[in-house]
Amino acid sequence: MALVNFIVILLAGGVLAGLSERINPTLPRRVSLAVILLDLVYLLSVYSGLDGASAQAPQGNWLLYFHHTWIARFGINIELAMDGLSFLMSALTLVLGAIAVVSSWNEIARQQGFFQANILWTLAGVLGVFLALDLFLFFLFWEVMLVPMYLLIAIWGHEDKAYASMKFFIFTQVSGLLMLLSILVLVNLHHSATGSYSFSYFDLLNTPLQPSTAGWVMLGFFIAFLVKLPGFPVHTWLPDAHTQAPTAGSVILAGILLKTGAYGLIRFTVSLFPAASMAFAPIAMALGAAGVIYGAVLAFAQTDFKRLVAYSSISHMGFVLLGVFAWNSLAIQGAIMQMVAHGFSTAALFMIAGALQQRLHTRDMRQMGGLWARMPRMGAMTMFFVVASLGLPGLGNFVAEFLVLLGLFKVDPVLCAIAALGLITAAIYSLMLLQKSFQGEPGPDRQIKDFGWLEMGTMAVMVIGLIWLGIYPQPVLDIAANSSFGSSVMEVATASLVK
């Protein structure tokens, strides 16, 4: 029941946060933070008490497994499971969820109860995505997490919030419907082969498919997850959503929601369709390399602080796409490490962007300049996360991108060289961001409040996380290695490489 409890705590906490506003207008943020921290402590305590793989799981190295019949006629069940990958993503979700709450501590002045409720319900949907192994349930959580995220942008966003929220919703809904169609086709093919309906991941892993059919069904999953990643060329919703979202929304979008796309590629696309994914790998890796360069070039062209960080996310998530489809253990571990490290570094930069907008009432870096002298603590934090984002050795982002490139080099040295250019362009736009906003000639003389103890404490969590990932990444790599993918994935990869 622990897997169900992780989700229920957040759902119930959202209701409690919404109702608490009637008692005190500032109480919802405290309730929200307490609920998330409670769920995080519960998750860590359950994980620390595990002593091996669950005997209840039908197959694979799953740490926790829960199964309850739901709609038996169509083979739909409440089926949840946790392995190393889903544990890392669940822990990251709760840590960044707490950071999102802190980032909006003094930003939201109206309907704070409903605001905090939407944060908690978004996190509940994301946890469901990371834990669900029934594909109908997975799709349900996939859609559930979009609605409160849409409301966060549409209600508490900035000047063009209506356009940005609608664009976000349309992109994700269309891609989600494409995934639903692929799920239904796969389930019907399984029924034709076995005579029974099932949405279970374990049953669908062994569905016999014709190569051409597998390719088309795989493509439906791939496009849906590529949109959420987001990858080139279906990334255009991201800059607008990030720019117009409130700070907490940007933190959740960049740190958590993008990872659901990466998770889906690893858990479902390559695991359910290993042969089709291997055949499609050159195209997927080309899209990943294009995203790395394209995102970096567009980031360099921005004057809006938030849009620059948004385009940098497209570039960094391109490394994840490269790592997933490079088909070796180094690259896949680098992709998972990038998911974690990018969550910390980009969430911190969006928190800084939100703090600057709240203080200066602008995101335009041309109207900044010389801020370090007035806000030294914020300047120091910005410098740290900027150099983390550009891949400074000794920090988590460097380890992640180095592993991806090392694994990619074994598969395609030319594509590896192209993707490596992203490290150079990252240094250019990252240092430009720091120089334009915190260095140079001071702007108008104005009183600006620096980071306080609450913001610095939040930043310290992400600083420690990135240093730990950079200096001693082995525990995270070990947890990532303790993940259950389709049994045929690496066999197909090995056979192809040998051939």
Alpha-carbon torsion 35, 40, 41, 46, what sign? Answer: positive
Distance CA 251, CA 101 (A): 9
Max distance between CA atoms of the chain, in angstroms, equals: 75
Indicate the length of the chain as a whole number. Answer: 499
What's residue 34's pLDDT? 96
Tell if the pTM clears 0.95, that is, is over it: no
What's residue 445's pLDDT? 61
Closest CA to 92 of 60, 125, 127, 66: 127
Stated as kind and residue range, the H or E segment containing 413 is helix 413-438
Distance CA 291, CA 452 (A): 37
Residue 36, φ and ψ in degrees, nearest 5: -65, -45
Distance CA 478, CA 391 (A): 22
Distance CA 311, CA 329 (A): 28
Residue 132, φ and ψ in degrees, nearest 5: -75, 135
Distance CA 293, CA 28 (A): 42
Alpha-carbon torsion 302, 306, 312, 317, what sign? Answer: negative
Q: Please, which residues have CB within 8 angstroms of residue 173's CB and are 6 or more apart in sequence?
A: 146
Residue 293, φ and ψ in degrees, nearest 5: -75, -45
Closest CA to 173 of 132, 145, 133, 200: 145
Distance CA 83, CA 479 (A): 8
What's residue 446's pLDDT? 63
Partnered with residue 65 across adjacent β-strands are 81
Distance CA 83, CA 482 (A): 7
Distance CA 424, CA 496 (A): 32
3-class secondary-structure state, position 56: coil
3-class secondary-structure state, position 39: helix
Tokens of 62: 């799953």
What's residue 110's pLDDT? 83
3-class secondary-structure state, position 49: coil
DSSP string, 302-358: --BHHHHHHHHHHHHHHHHHHHHHT-SHHHHHHHHHHHHHHHHHHHHHHHHHHHHHH
Residue type, 328: N
Q: Tell me the pLDDT of the chain (499 aa) as tens digits.
A: 899 999 999 999 999 999 998 888 889 999 999 999 999 999 999 999 887 767 677 777 788 999 999 998 889 999 999 998 999 999 999 999 999 999 888 888 788 899 999 999 999 999 999 999 999 999 999 999 999 999 999 999 888 899 999 999 999 999 999 999 999 999 999 999 888 899 999 999 888 889 999 999 999 999 999 999 988 888 889 989 988 999 999 999 989 999 999 999 999 999 999 999 999 999 999 999 999 999 999 998 898 999 999 999 999 999 999 999 998 888 999 999 999 999 999 999 999 999 998 888 888 888 888 888 888 999 999 999 999 998 899 999 999 999 999 999 999 999 999 999 988 888 899 899 999 888 877 666 667 888 888 899 999 999 999 999 999 999 999 888 877 664 445 444 444 444 4
What's residue 497's pLDDT? 45
The total of other beta-carbon atoms located within 10 Å of residue 372's CB is 19
Tokens of 214: 């597998």
